[in-house]
Amino acid sequence: MRETVWLAESGRLEALSVEHYVDRDSLFAAALNSDLAQGYESEEALGRDLLAGEFLFKAPLLLGGQAAKAGMSCHSCHVNGTDNPHFLFPAISGEPGTADTTHSFFSKSLGNKVFDPATIPDLTKAGKVSHSMESAELEAFLTTIVVGEFSGEAISPSVIAPMAAYVRALRVWGGNQKELSRARSLDKDLKDLRATIDQAIHRASIEESDVAALLLSSGQSQVQVIHERLQRVSHEDLRRWLVARSREMGVLRQRLSAQETGVRRDLVALRERLSSGPDFTHASENSLYNANVLADTLK
Ligand code: HEC
Name 132's Cβ contacts closer than 8 Å, sequence gap at least 6.
138
Closest CA to 155 of 106, 226, 100, 214: 214
How far apart are the C-alpha atoms of 299 and 295, rounded to whole Å? 6
Give domain status of residue 299, yes or no: no
Decide which of 182, 200, 227 is a domain's last residue.
182
Give domain status of residue 103, yes or no: yes
153 and 198 part of one domain? no
Q: What angle do CA 52, 55, 59 make, to 5 degrees?
A: 120
> Residue 98 belongs to what domain range?
2-182
CATH number for the domain including 265? Answer: 1.20.120
What digits encode the pLDDT tens for the residues 230-257? Answer: 999 999 999 999 999 999 999 999 999 9
89 and 156 part of one domain? yes
60 and 22 part of one domain? yes
Residue nearest to atom 24 of ligand 1 (CA): 127
Name 195's Cβ contacts closer than 8 Å, sequence gap at least 6.
51, 55
Decide which of 118, 152, 182 is a domain's last residue.
182
Number of domains, the chain: 2
81 and 145 part of one domain? yes
Residue nearest to atom 43 of ligand 1 (CA): 77
What digits encode the pLDDT tens for the residues 138-151? Answer: 999 999 888 765 44
> Are the C-beta atoms of 161 and 194 separated by less than 8 Å?
no
64 and 207 part of one domain? no
Decide which of 127, 152, 182 is a domain's last residue.
182
- Tell which one of 2, 145, 221 to mutate to probe ligand 1, the residue whose CB is within 8 A of the most ligand atoms: 145
Give domain status of residue 197, yes or no: yes
What digits encode the pLDDT tens for the residues 69-87? Answer: 889 999 999 999 999 999 9
